[in-house]
């Protein structure tokens, strides 16, 4: 069953995530305030960060970096792309 929420990232009413996508209080905050569309945007951005910075998710520092970027992307001023990032041609 889908429900709508006021997405704080997109600043509009949108379909919510079906379940918490992340553990703990942050996951619940995301579930209550972030739409499926905005979460999908984050997943694409996260993939780009992992690839561009060649992050290994085994390393705690990489996971901490991604969590901070996720909070900035979803709830804050946004997460920047690396300066040398060149988007793929479509």
**pLDDT at residue 81, rounded to an integer:** 84
Residue 31 in domain: yes
60 exposure class (CB count in 10 Å sphere: 0-12, 13-18, 19+): exposed
- Note the pLDDT tens digit of each residue in 40-68: 999 999 999 999 999 999 999 999 999 99
Domain of 38, in residue numbers: 4-75
Residue 45 in domain: yes
Q: How many domains does the chain have?
A: 1
> Which band of pLDDT confidence, cut at 50, 70 and 90, is reported for residue 24?
very high
Residue 84 in domain: no
7 exposure class (CB count in 10 Å sphere: 0-12, 13-18, 19+): buried
The structure's pTM equals: 0.90
Residue 90 clears pLDDT 90, i.e. is over it? no
């Amino acid at each position: 069953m889908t429900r709508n929420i006021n997405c704080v990232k997109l600043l509009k009413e949108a379909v919510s995530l079906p379940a918490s996508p992340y553990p703990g209080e942050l996951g619940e905050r995301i579930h209550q305030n972030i739409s499926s569309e905005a979460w999908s945007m984050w997943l694409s951005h996260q993939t780009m960060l992992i690839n561009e910075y060649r992050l290994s998710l085994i390393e705690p520092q990489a996971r901490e970096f991604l969590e901070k970027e996720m909070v900035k992307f979803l709830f804050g001023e946004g997460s920047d792309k690396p300066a040398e990032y060149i988007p793929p041609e479509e």
